Amino acid sequence: MINLSKMEAHHKRHQSAPDVARCPRCGTWSARNEIRSRWYWLPDLLRETIAEMLVGCYLCPTCPPGERWFALLPGEYDTPAQYAVSAQRLVVQMVQRYKMSMEAAAQFGREVLHLAMLDATTVLDWLREAGSLVDVQGRRRAAAAAFSGQMAVDEVYDGPWYQLKATDPLNDVELAWHVGEGAPTKDDIRRFFKELKAAGFSPTLVVTDGSDLYPEVIKEVWPEAEHQRCVFHFIKQINQDLGEAFWKLYETMPKPPKRLRGRPKKRGRPREDKGKRENRMTVRAARFLVLMRERRPDERRNRFGDAERTALNQAIALCPPLGVLRRFVVQLHELFGPTTDSHELAEKRRRAILDDEQFKGTPSLSKAVERLRNNDLFARLTRYLDFQNAEKTSNHVERENREFRKRQKGHYRFRSRCSLCALLDLLAARHPIPLEPVRLARKTSGTSAEEEVRRAA
């Protein structure tokens, strides 16, 4: 350890050394034996600050020899480290709550909190310590009691490891994680699910991506549970097909002839070529818009507004087959959007897509249409319609994992299993378990009867 007493900094002096103090073991009043000095870095926004703590040391008259000695350290200084407890807590929060990497947190400690010597290795030690203090079992019990009934599961790969994670998307709570080497097998998933089951979780609805690791194991561990395939992942997959379709349709546009070497001969031709080139550029620029969902009135984050609509219409006017592609996109989003509120309506809208003559007549769309034709898959994609408040994507757990991955990038030091686990515990404990949790609610038969009446009318 560095001798802080000689360090150039602002020095403060505190004393915690009354003449007598109670023994922490037996409570007997004990006389002070001596006063010792200990030095700590204090977090301070203005300057480097070191506190000298004058600590009273006592000898208990009744405890057996060898156990008599005790010191009177206030909580802020009750640490073997050379940093006050508040300094450690602030820096750990920078990682846990404000998502800094360890390096950034150490830098923040040095530059803002004026903890001059702080380095990333020390921050890692603190994170490990904080992670080991998380009451994992107690938290899991509380999460089981507050469980909504819907579980989101996802796997993420990082270097030599994979990580499984389960969350309660309706209550924004992380339920469990598992780290293993290589890639998860069905056995790994089974063990993970059984552990969750043993902890008291019996989900009504489990949402996962399209990986074939899950359906069989869900059925086995929780035979009562329904399986929701993540709609977001499905649409992402379809968008890839549609991206290919876009380029095929784009290639049907008239091309400007390849320019010959040398000086252009006639005056009229180049202008016409230029027009074709510009048209193609306009259409190319709109390629993302073709696949984008239009903004709903209540949405702010979606970029598709009036300007985008104009640009898209312009592109469709220049390359009319794109209109068919666009109509497919709109119908697809309608099918999985908020206005589809029953299985009947979902099926009607799916049929409209499958039976559409224009879609059938557009070969580049066939791959995307085929995906919708799979009955088992479609049933899994629309399980959420059985419920009033189910989450139809696994984005919740994805988001948690993405954040984890982002941390991993700057965190090569976490690549030891023990530090990784400490970080995962720390991250898992980030969101509080709600006191009034949301519960997954099945649609009552009354609602669907009402719907039937409404639809018949």
The contact set with Zn ion (CB under 5 A) reads 23, 25-26, 28, 60, 63
Distant-in-sequence contacts of 175-183, Cβ < 8 A, 24+ apart: 175/140, 175/143, 175/147, 175/151, 175/201, 176/140, 176/428, 177/424, 177/428, 179/417, 179/420, 179/421, 179/424, 183/157
Residue closer to Zn ion, measured from CB, 26 or 418? 26
Q: Which run of H or of E encompasses 391?
A: none
Instruction: State the minimum distance, in angstroms, from the CB of residue 23 to Zn ion.
Output: 3
Residue closer to Zn ion, measured from CB, 66 or 223? 66
Instruction: State the minimum distance, in angstroms, from the CB of residue 115 to Zn ion.
Output: 36
Instruction: State the minimum distance, in angstroms, from the CB of residue 138 to Zn ion.
Output: 31
Instruction: State the minimum distance, in angstroms, from the CB of residue 27 to Zn ion.
Output: 7
Instruction: Concatenate the DSSP letters of all residues of 24-49 into one string.
Output: TTT--EEEEEEEEEEEEEE--SSS-E
Neighbours of 297 (CB within 10 A): 4
Instruction: State the minimum distance, in angstroms, from the CB of residue 35 to Zn ion.
Output: 20
Residue closer to Zn ion, measured from CB, 68 or 99? 68
Strand, helix or coil for residue 300:
coil
Encoded tokens for 52: 């000298």
Instruction: Concatenate the DSSP letters of all residues of 398-418 into one string.
Output: HHHHHHHHHHHHT-GGG-SHH
Residue closer to Zn ion, measured from CB, 70 or 177? 70
Measured over the CA atoms of residue 353, residue 354, residue 355 and residue 357, the dihedral's sign is: positive
Residue closer to Zn ion, measured from CB, 26 or 330? 26
Is the distance from CB of 48 to CB of 116 less than 8 angstroms? Answer: yes
C-alpha 238/C-alpha 371 separation (Å) is: 8
Instruction: State the minimum distance, in angstroms, from the CB of residue 32 to Zn ion.
Output: 14
Residue closer to Zn ion, measured from CB, 60 or 289? 60
Instruction: State the minimum distance, in angstroms, from the CB of residue 77 to Zn ion.
Output: 22
Residue closer to Zn ion, measured from CB, 68 or 343? 68
Instruction: State the minimum distance, in angstroms, from the CB of residue 57 to Zn ion.
Output: 14
Q: Which run of H or of E encompasses 165?
A: strand 161-168
Closest to 291 measured CA to CA, from 241, 362, 218, 342:
241
Helices and strands in the chain, H and E counts: 18, 10
C-alpha 449/C-alpha 215 separation (Å) is: 31
Residue closer to Zn ion, measured from CB, 29 or 288? 29
